[in-house]
């Protein structure tokens, strides 16, 4: 609800939807590096998502 409240305050919206789309790590890059190349990131995600 904190995210919802922040969006309502910032954009003065009464109702809205948030869409979340999960991508495999080999299709996501951050600061020029593919996430699948970061072994620690891969292990952390496996631990959190069980994959």
pLDDT band at 51 (very low <50, low <70, confident <90, very high): low
Find, among 46, 48, 47, the residue nearest to 36 by Cα.
46
pLDDT band at 10 (very low <50, low <70, confident <90, very high): very high
Name, in order, each residue with C-beta under 8 angstroms of 28's C-beta and a sequence gap of 6 or more. Answer: 34, 35
pLDDT tens by residue, 16-50: 888 888 888 888 888 888 988 989 988 988 888 87
Annotate the chain with DSSP letters as a single string.
Answer: -HHHHHHHHHH--SS---------GGG-EETTEEGGG-HHHHHHHHHHH--
């Amino acid at each position: 609800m904190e995210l919802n409240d922040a969006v309502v305050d910032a954009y003065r919206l009464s109702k809205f939807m948030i869409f979340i789309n999960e991508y495999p790590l080999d299709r996501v890059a951050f600061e020029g590096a593919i996430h699948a190349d970061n072994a620690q990131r891969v292990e952390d995600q496996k631990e959190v998502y069980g994959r």
